[in-house]
Chain A
Amino acid sequence: MLYDYLLTWIILSSLVPGIMIFFLPEKSVRTRSVLNIFGSLVKMSLVIVLLVQVYQGANIYQSYELLPGIQIELVSDLFSLILAVLSSILWFFTTFYAIGYLEHHHSRSRFFGFFSLVVTATMGISFAGNLFTFLLFFEMLTIVTYPLVVHNGTQEARKGGQVYIAYTSLGGVLFLTGTVWMYVLAGNQTFAAGGFVAEDFANHPMEYSIIFIMLICGLGVKGALFPLHGWLPRAMVAPAPVSALLHAVAVVKAGAFGIVRVVYDVFGVETAQAHGLLEILLYMASFTVVYGSVMALFQDNLKKRLAYSTVSQVSYIMLGVALFGPLGTIGGVIHLVNQGIMKITLFFCAGSFAETYGIKYVSKMDGIGKKMPLTMLAFTIGAFGMMGVPPIAGFISKWYLGMGAVESGMTWVIGVLIASTLLNAAYFLPILYRGWFGTFDASISKKLDTPHETLRLILWPTVSVAVISLLAGLFASLDYSPLYFAKIIGMLEYGAP
């Protein structure tokens, strides 16, 4: 009984606390914190139960009929588990971080209410079993993220919010149109391994190709594919925990996750490849990888530099999928996880620097490592991971992506990887150099009243996610590691041994 409705429970575990938080008065900090932490703990436990169930072979599936012929379907395949596990674990850490970070901010009930809804939407996206369910949660994500982006209420924040909503609504419209057209054409929407339109494709190649492009562009807005990425650097005005969630698990990941779903479970990777659709994705992703890295070079604002880095890194996921081969798939899927862990580390650190010393610009970061050694160490691990230095998680992604490129004979992609890695080094190393070896500007004073380098609620989540990104690389070869599941997914898609 419990297991049958497990997926619903998981979604409710953040929806219910979220709604309850809205009704809490601003002053009841303790109740709110307890609700938040309780919700995230319950969710994490339930997701782990689900993981064990699925591993033991249970096939958990639920559907609710909304309108005749239109169903909300929730499934738990391996791929949905990857996003669910990632976001529930990272949400857990972000909750603590956000409680510490927002200690002296206004409108916290509003913030934490929407915060929980964002995770609800992300869970819905990961368990969505058909295009309609996906669309539902995808749009919900757009709406509930907006109040978080504009949370600070400054003019800059509102401007950022406007750009965000403009871009994502456009994406939403494209995705909606694609979904409806697909429904009309195929009469079916349920995700299926190998794609549910694979057989019908030959009957309407033109229409399906247009639908493919519409869906990819719709999702590509959230996934920050060039030229649809414009909102992401602007949305960095949001508070740090929001940026962390946005970049690591929620919005950007939803886009990337959706693209992978569309390629594998809607069209089928073989069909997409056979009709040259993957090639479009490959070129878009490759260009975005290099473009994001180049743009990151020119940013002095730390969060903006990280935002462009996300633009570049998330496209690795699409790149892996577009490489058409088991190794590329493993690389793409594993990067979904690894990029999340590493990027959340970096954003936690950026928020920590800003909150503790008011440092927001790379050029002001001189010597911060001496004042905040643990935070800077976490940042270093995240940055080296992004560059692909072994044994951090990012190395695993790059290793499989590179081998995937060779395997599929697209050796020019290696050139893309090389260029991007060099650029990563060029925009991350100066930060590390300043942070560790610069001289701290004595006129900058600490904003927080704490004997530690920063509030413990900010410090420990940061250190924890940094340790996780190290462990995800070191123990990648163990069973139950993210790589293990990515490998199974790669095998399932291509039927390789």
Chain B
Amino acid sequence: MEGISMEMWLAFSAALAFFSLFTWVISREIYLAYGMLFGSVLLALYVSVKVLLGLPADTVSVYFLPGSPALVGFDSHTAVLLAASSTVWLLALLHFQRFESIAREYLFTLALIAVWIGNMGAVLAITPELFYTCFSIAGIAGWGLIYAAGSADQRPSSLYLGYVIMGEVFLAGFLFFVGANESGTFAMLLAMLGFGVKIGLFPLHASLPIAYGNARGLGPVVFAGALINMGVIGILRFVPFGSEESLVVGIIWQLLGAIGMLYGLICGMLQRNPGALLGYSSMTQMGALSLLFGAALLTPEWAPTLLMGIAGYAAFHGITKALLVLSADQMRYFRRGESGHYLYMGVLILAGLTLAGLPLTFGAVAKTELKEGVKLVGEGGLTYLSAGLTALSFCSLLLMGRLFQNVWGQESDEVAGKPVWIPLLVFGITAVFAMSWMFEHSALKTFAVSQLYIVYGAMLILFTFGRWFQRQSCLLPAGDFAPLFYDSLEALYTRIANSEDHEKASSNQIKMSLDRDDFYRGLLDAEQVYSKSWVFILLFGLLGGMAVFLSLL
């Protein structure tokens, strides 16, 4: 054991992953394939924990595509994010027998192993070509996790793929700059858009709720916990924070982040599917991180501190989100009164409160890390960031309340308004008072008390509007406006397929005229799904987010 270097362990891990893929293709022995995958994940976790504990790890050159050697290895953010990702995978794989059966199991398992290979590669890749390759493999294979569910509705899988490809193309554009050692506003914009699809930046966010809400089995856990962090690690590794031309992008990034927080909150509150709701919650969380990414572009001197906090927070968010998705899913298999039901409910509540950053939780610690950087930046003039973090707590708490409401009522038709806010209130108030009682430190006390207002505010809103939300028959589909685009495009495509009269297909004129009615039919059909009031509410969210951000500036 002693003589084996970290690199060798990593190589073993990668080899196991490829063997697992191979085994599955050749033999379709599910236990063998999953066993190897499990081993691969375990080794990756072992290595990352060792590196976190201070063991040295060099970069390694691996054989790869065009000419220049491709590098894999650890930088200051990698180990923590690899540890988080492999923890999430471990969590998901441990439960693999507990999920419902998948319609297309062959495709699902194939995709799952490919996603792990891409995910591990993207976290470790240092050279842009290798990163891009792994990032695309994970993104495109993720489509398999949704498609394999075997749903008759093709919209979710196709939309997900569309968004992923859009993101990857932007990303490729950005990595051209990285490959040529150049930078500039355009490069930064491409980076923001390319990674933005992965981290759910407004308005490219639709793939998150769609993926979380429609993947089956351990798919949503992997999406929520591991894949989203590929975007974060890409930003941390390749975006040249600290260069001076990035002021414009910094402001745009913050603006989109602020809008995304509010927009994610509103859309999330209108979800019934816990997965989709958590997707919007991730959008809100990443909106807050986008505020910080923007801040790092605006104040290069504090960027390292900010980024370190962001890496830690992203790791924390991944694990917590995975727990939430997992427990919300598992609760469906137990009736109320069974011990499993309470176990997963307990995990759900704890993870939810942690996500909202309530005192005494891991979330509070992760947020304190973030606040270090925010404090520094605040002294530099960007005072609104700490307000942004407070808003994040508030949004998260509201969304978590809505989540409890959904899962509590999901096995019975009973409209559950009350049971939700009582445990929240009790837990929140106790935690806050315990906190202020235990610590004499005045800063912490202030923090605890400020959290109390957030808890009260969220409770008030949930109490007042909780039943109203639950009663709404017409809720927003996962991906809000994206299905609308899909319908319009589908109408367009049908039109093209029918427009060429096949007898005359090769006659003189190339027919490409579009029937306007067909084109807009998608929009008209959609009216049943999108009642007008929601459109107004969403627009309000959009404008409100912008107004809040601008006023803060």
Contacts and interface: CB of A to CB of B under 8 A. Distances in A.
Nearest to B68: A477
A363 B179 contact: no
Interface string A468-497: 000001101100000100010000000000
Interface stretch (B51-59, B209-217, B492-500): B492-500
A403 B176 contact: yes
Contacts of A418: 169-170, 172-173, 190
B180 A407 contact: yes
A421 interface: yes
B172 A398 contact: yes
A490 B359 CA distance: 61
A361 interface: yes
A89 B512 CA distance: 38
B372 to A, nearest CB: 35
Contact of A403 (B63, B179, B496): B179
A179 B18 CA distance: 57
A221 interface: no
B505 A422 contact: no
Nearest to A407: B180
Given A406-B182, A407-B182, A473-B65, A414 B133 contact: no
Given A388-B172, A389-B136, A399 B67 contact: no
B132 interface: yes
Given A406-B176, A421-B169, A430-B493, A391 B500 contact: no
A391 B506 contact: no
A156 B510 CA distance: 14
B329 interface: no
A181 to B, nearest CB: 35
Contacts of B177: 406, 411
A430 B497 CA distance: 12
A421 B172 contact: yes
A234 B507 CA distance: 9
B67 A362 contact: no
B184 A390 contact: no
B42 interface: no
Contacts of B184: 411
B505 A300 contact: yes
B165 interface: yes
A91 interface: no
A304 to B, nearest CB: 8
A425 interface: yes
Nearest to A420: B169
A414 B190 contact: yes
Given A391-B133, A422-B166, A327 B66 contact: no
Nearest to B104: A437
Given A403-B180, A418-B173, A390 B132 contact: yes
B161 interface: yes
- For chain A, the bracket of interface size reads 35 or more
Contacts of A263: none
B108 to A, nearest CB: 14
A215 interface: no
A55 interface: no
A144 interface: no
B173 A396 contact: no
Contact of A429 (B67, B161, B502): B161
Contacts of A300: 496-497, 499-500, 502, 505
A298 to B, nearest CB: 4
Interface in A351-395: 361-363, 388-391, 395
Nearest to A391: B65
Contacts of B161: 429
Contacts of B158: 433
Interface string B109-147: 000000000000000000001001100100010000001
B186 interface: yes
Nearest to A473: B65
A301 B497 contact: no
Contact of A399 (B165, B176, B510): B176
A221 to B, nearest CB: 19
Given A298-B496, A300-B505, A418-B169, A390 B65 contact: yes
A237 B66 contact: no
A390 B165 contact: no
A398 B171 CA distance: 13
* Most A-side CB within 10 Å, residue of B65, B161, B499: B65
Contacts of B136: 389-390
A477 B182 CA distance: 23
Contacts of A195: none
Contacts of B166: 422
A402 interface: yes
Nearest to B132: A390
B172 A483 contact: no
B65 A474 contact: yes
Contacts of B187: 406, 411
Nearest to B129: A399
Contacts of A417: 172-173, 176
Interface in B161-211: 161, 165-166, 169-170, 172-173, 175-177, 179-180, 182, 184, 186-187, 190
A233 B510 contact: yes
Contacts of A7: none
Enumerate the 6 nearest inter-chain pairs by beta-carbon distance, A residue then B residue, closest first: A402-B176, A406-B180, A363-B497, A390-B133, A403-B180, A298-B512
Given A295-B512, A429-B161, 4 more contacts: A402-B175, A403-B180, A411-B177, A422-B166
Interface of B: 63-68, 129, 132-133, 136, 140, 147, 158, 161, 165-166, 169-170, 172-173, 175-177, 179-180, 182, 184, 186-187, 190, 493, 496-497, 499-500, 502, 505-506, 508, 510, 512
7 contacts: A389-B140, A390-B136, A396-B66, A399-B179, A403-B180, A430-B493, A487-B67
Interface of A: 156, 159-160, 233-234, 237, 295, 297-301, 304, 327, 361-363, 388-391, 395-396, 398-400, 402-403, 405-407, 411, 414-415, 417-418, 421-422, 425, 429-430, 433, 437, 473-474, 476-477, 483, 487
